[in-house]
Amino acid sequence: MALDFLTLYVIILLNSLSFAIVWLVIACTYRSMKAARFWLAALVMTCVSGPLLVSADGNEAITYVGLTLVAGSFAVMWQGVRVFHHQPPFWLAVVAIVAATFAALNIFGPQQEAINIIAAISQIGPVSFAMVALLRERPRYIGVYVAACAAGVLILGQGAEAITNALRLSGLMTIDAYYSVAAWFLVCAVIGGSVWNLGFLLMASDRFRAELRLLATRDDLTNLPNRRGLREKIAICEKSVRRKRTSAVLMMIDLDRFKNINDRFGHAAGDAALAHIGRVILSRLRDDDVLARIGGDEFCVLLPHTKLKTASTIAKRLIEAIASTPLEWKGCRVDLSASIGLSEWKPESSITLAEILPLADAAMFGSKRERNNSAPSTTVNLQLAG
Cα angle, residue 137 at apex, residues 132 and 141 outer, rounded to 5°: 105
Tell me, what amino acid is at 103? Answer: A
Yes or no: say if 329 and 360 are a contact pair by the CB < 8 Å rule: no
Alpha-helical (H) ranges within 85-181 are 91-108, 112-136, 142-169, 175-179
Cα–Cα distance for residue pair 78/129, rounded to 1 Å:
7
CA dihedral for 314, 317, 322, 325, sign (positive or negative): negative
Tell me, what amino acid is at 286? Answer: R
Beta-bridge mates of residue 382: 340
Cα–Cα distance for residue pair 85/100, rounded to 1 Å:
27
Which residue among 219, 254, 256, 297 is the active-site one? Answer: 297
H or E segment at 328? strand 327-329
Yes or no: say if 291 and 277 are a contact pair by the CB < 8 Å rule: no
CA dihedral for 343, 345, 349, 355, sign (positive or negative): positive
- Residue 283, C-beta contacts closer than 8 angstroms, at least 6 positions apart: 321
- Percent helix, strand, coil in the chain, to 5, is 70, 10, 20
- Residue 39, C-beta contacts closer than 8 angstroms, at least 6 positions apart: 19, 23, 76, 77, 80, 197, 200
Instruction: Judge whether 297 counts as a catalytic residue.
Output: yes
Task: Give whole-number Cα distances, 224 to 209, 229, 333, in Å.
Answer: 19, 9, 25
CA nearest to 382, candidates 371, 109, 373, 374: 371
Which positions are annotated as active-site residues? 297
